[in-house]
Every structure is written in structure tokens, then in C-alpha cells.
Structure 1
Amino acid sequence: MLAFLAGCVNAIGVAMFAVSIGNVTGLVTNIAIHLIDDDPIAAVVPLQYFSFLLGSVVSGVLISSRKVGWGTELYGIVLMLVSALIFVGWRTATTSENVAICVLALSMGLQNGMLTKHAHAVVRTTHMTGTTTDIGVIIGHQLGRRLHDLAMREHLFSREGSQHVQRENTLRRRRSEWGQMRLLSLLLVSFFCGSLTGFSLYRAWGADALLLPAIAEAVMGSSYFLYFHALKLCPRRHRQLRAPPARSTV
């Protein structure tokens, strides 16, 4: 859902300001090009970069863990802050374009810093460069193992004991990587669908299209905040969710 909303905000930003809100790579490249050409850098470019960075810093201050946890962190507060920032971006979109761009970048940096690792996969919800790279690497690993298995089949049959161990290790790695693949693919598809939705809404509503992600973030944030506090009424369940996951001994 977060990737869907980020795609929505990003598409609206591109349509409204001709700027990709969460594309920090492009910002760094633009700054470098302007410096080499001795061209004056538009103030909004470095400001957008540092706004995104500041959002990540604030997220890191509020959320100590870099892994997904339920009932353990202030995700609700962060989501409500993201919602508030998107509302500010909506209010300033038609009156102060540069302010709107920086505020929206701040919101995306804040959201992107929330979840950085889940199912052994690095999670990014506001841009898809790393996600696409990870998907490609996993596909490459799978193809490489298939080719290696074909090349080593006769050799492995002559070493029955080691064959069983290697097969178990390979299957374990494949299960882990396919779990990552499902998550990363879901992020990519969600971001794409969010982009389609965001641009369609912008064509119909203009700047008011930002209200969809703003309201959705507010609903998710307030719901999680209430859920978090409801857990405190059930101390046993709260302790179970705060406890670290048990490690497999296999």
C-alpha cells in the first residue's frame, strides 16, 4: 500500500511540476551537471534533495528498528506525519511550487525510511531502482544455479552424501529468494499501479489528486496508532509482538 501511494504522489509530482518527487539519483546528477557547466543551480534542486534526506533522518529518529515490526514502533506517528506533509504539499501546490516540491520530498523521505528490511529483502517504497536491481539479481542467481546444477549433475551423482547436503542448501536459498522476489514484485506492481492512479486522478482533479494519498496515509496512521495503544490493554499480546522472532535451528 505504501508503494502504491508513493507511486501516486510521484506521478502527480511529475505531471504537476515535471519533477520526480522521490528520484534522489536524478537530483544528485542534476546538481553535478550544473556544477560542471558553471550554471546556476535552481534552488529547489538541492532543497529537494536535503528535504528527502531530512525526512529519512526524522524517520530514523522515530523508528529505531530497521526491520518490520508490529506493535513495536511508532509507525502510526510517522504515517500521520507523512499525511500532514502531503496535505501541506496539496495546499501549496498552486501557490508556491517550490515549497510543495520540497514538502512532498520530505514526506517521501520520511516514508521511505520507515521500512528498510523485510524477509531478507531491502524494502524501498518511494523509488524502484533498487527494487528492479534486486529482482534482476535474484533471477540471475536462479538461472546461475540451474546452469550450475546441469553442469555438475554427473559429478554430484557420484557423491551421494554431499549431493543431499548441497540440494538442501540450494532449496533453502531458493525458497528465501523466491520469498524476496514475491515481495519485491509486489512493490514494483504496486508502485506502477499507484502511478497509473495518480496520473489519472491528476487529469481529472488537478492538484486535488494529492488528497487521495494524504487521506489514505492518515487513515493508515491513525488506525495503526489506535492498534498500538489497544495492544497495551493486552500486555501478553503486546510482549509477544515486541519479542524478536525465534531463529530457526535447521
Structure 2
Amino acid sequence: MPLRRLTGRNRSTAANWQLAALLAFTAGTVDVSGYLALRQFTSHMSGIVAAMAADIATRGLDILLQPAVVLGCFLAGAAFCAILVNWERRRNRESLFAVPVLLEALLLASLAFPLKGHHILLTLCVLSFSMGLQNAIITKVSHAEIRTTHITGMVTDIGIELGKALYWNRTTGRVPVHAERSRLLLLTMLVTLFFTGGTLGAFAYPHVGFLLMLPVAALLAVPTILPIATDLHLLSPS
């Protein structure tokens, strides 16, 4: 069943790319929505670190608090994902990848119902923790072959595959250079989905705010139901 494979324990290349597609779309939506709301990107840490370096020279140490919190929460999300996945793997759980995906969905959905006295820094913490969690999920399932919260690596890999495709194999007796066309197509799809998610955030956030996170969270949560239900059934007393 496709939904079970998407976040289930037993992985395939197709399931990894399908999950990556869903997460890339989510990351684009979250990144742009977070920027429109808080003027701070939360999914790609290279930009955060570069901004910290640039701002410290012009605006002093006080300006580092917000981006440092974002960086720390992204790191914490990735670390928590690793702890959670390894804990579930030791117990042979079917839902070892489904649980962190569901946790990300719940965190994003929580933003649609802000508490009284809703604080900017708390929202940043939730967004950046969620993105760290997400990037660690796809890193674990794909054995570090796929990332979804930033596109620098993907664009680099697209360039490499294009270079292979354009290479003229003139030398005989050598292994020819060939582009992995399927990988090129899939990487292009991920970049496109990140952009599509970002475009959705750009159009929808000004009208509905963080209510936009509810359908995004639902998309994440649906594929986690069957693996989690399987584990709950096995744990329930007979």
C-alpha cells in the first residue's frame, strides 16, 4: 500500500523520493510563510550563518540572538529526530520514520492556534525545530542522499548531471561519462516543489496567516497513520 511505504520502516528508492517530494513542498511553504511573518528564513542554515557573520560587523552582538536561536533549534530538531529514530529502530517499530513526520505535522499545526501573548521567538523556535527535524528524517531514510529544506545541494547536483549529459565521450577504451537522467529529473522535481510550496506561502499567507499550516500538516500526517496504527495494534494487549 503506497501510504504505508511512504513513511514505513521498509524503504525503497521510490518511497524515498516520494517522501522527499512531500517534504520539499512543505519546506518551501514553511520557509516563505515564516519569512513573511517574521522576516526570518528558517529552513536553510547557510543563510542564517552568513547573516550572522554580516550583521555582527554592522549591528553588534545583540543582533545575533534571533538567528542564533533559529540555528540552535534547527540543530535540536535534527538531534531529536536521530534520538527518536534510533530509539524506535532498537524496538523494531514500523513507525520509526512515521513518528517524526507526525511530530512535524503537529508542530506546524500548532502555529495555526497561537496562544495568548504569542511570541515571535517561540514561533521561530517551532519553525526551525520542525525544519531540522524534517531534514534529519529524509537524511536518515535516504542515507544522506537527499535533502529537502534547502536547494543549494540539489542545484549543485543538477549542475553535475547536466555537465555529465553535455560531456563528449571522445576517448575510446575508457568508461564513458553518462548522466543519471532519472536522478536529474527527480532533483529538478524537488527544486520545483520547493518553489511551488514557497509560491503557495507567498500567495496564501497574507490572506490566512498560519492557518495555512493546517492543510500542510494534514498532508504530512496522512501517510503516518498506517505505520503508527500497526505499532499500536502490536502493542495493545491481545
Scaled to the shorter chain, the TM-score interval is 0.7 to 0.9
CA contact (8 A) 2:139 2:146 kept: yes
| Pick aligned residue for 2:159 from 136, 140, 157 | 136
Distance, in Å, in 2 between the alignment partners of 1:121 and 1:59 is 14
1:103 partner amino acid: V
Structure 1 equivalent of residue 202 of structure 2: 199
Partner of 1:10: 31
Decide whether the 8 Å contact of 1:121 with 1:180 is kept in 2. no
Q: How does 1:73-112 map to 2 (within 5 A)?
A: 74-92=96-114, 95-112=118-135
Give how far 1:77 is off: 0.5
> Root-mean-square deviation (CA), in Å?
2.8
In 2, Cα distance between the equivalents of 1:117 and 1:183?
A: 18
Cα distance in 1 for residues equivalent to 2:113 and 2:148: 24
1: CA distance, partners of 2:189 / 2:84: 26
**In 2, Cα distance between the equivalents of 1:140 and 1:28?**
30
1:40 corresponding residue in structure 2 = 62
Identity across the alignment (%) = 28
Instruction: Give the number of aligned pairs.
Output: 207
Contact 1:3 1:126 in 2 (8 A): yes
Structure 1 length-normalised TM: 0.72
Q: Which moved more, 1:29-38 or 1:99-108?
A: 29-38
| Bigger mean CA deviation after superposition, 33-42 or 6-15 | 33-42
Match of 1:235 in 2: none
1:27 aligns with 2:30: no
Larger CA Rg, structure 1 vs 2 = 1
**Per-residue CA shift, 1:37-62, capped at 9, x if unaligned?**
43422522101110001111111222
8 Å CA contact 1:88–1:100 kept in 2: the answer is no
Contact 2:111 2:210 in 1 (8 A): no
Amino acid at match of 1:212: P
Q: How far off its partner does 1:229 sit?
A: 6.5
Structure 1 unmatched runs, 5+: 65-70, 157-161, 233-250
> Contact 1:120–1:180 at 8 Å: present in 2 too?
no
Match of 1:95, SS? coil
- Structure 2: unaligned runs, 5 residues or longer: 1-21, 87-92
Partner of 1:59: 81
